[in-house]
Structure 1
């Protein structure tokens, strides 16, 4: 899942080198945190959240065989 989100996000942004996806899993769910350059936040979210919703739809479709809930959060870029 992590690679899928990373691939989609890198195709959308102007700073693909600043795309980072952190994946944490447990028995029932997968949590993905997508971090992009601040200038690219609008490109990943889209008008009225349409791009973010489309990314979530693709990932949920890809996760149907895993029997796990997938949650994607778009977070501010971690500085450091």
Structure 2
């Protein structure tokens, strides 16, 4: 699943393919913001861990979980 996280005061966004489901990511981010946790961690498909400061999150965009098609569409 594709994730994009906008960072406050930064022209670029953090984007990666997540190993977690959309529901899991939504729960992790939502719980961190609601509880005032200083940071939260997400993991991509290759095992890289991203530690994101909760206070600097502007938005989180969750892509679809459907698999990509291979080949040509006619």
TM-score, with normalisation over the residues of structure 1?
0.30
| CA radius of gyration, larger in | 2
Higher helix content, 1 or 2: 1
TM-score, with normalisation over the residues of structure 2?
0.31
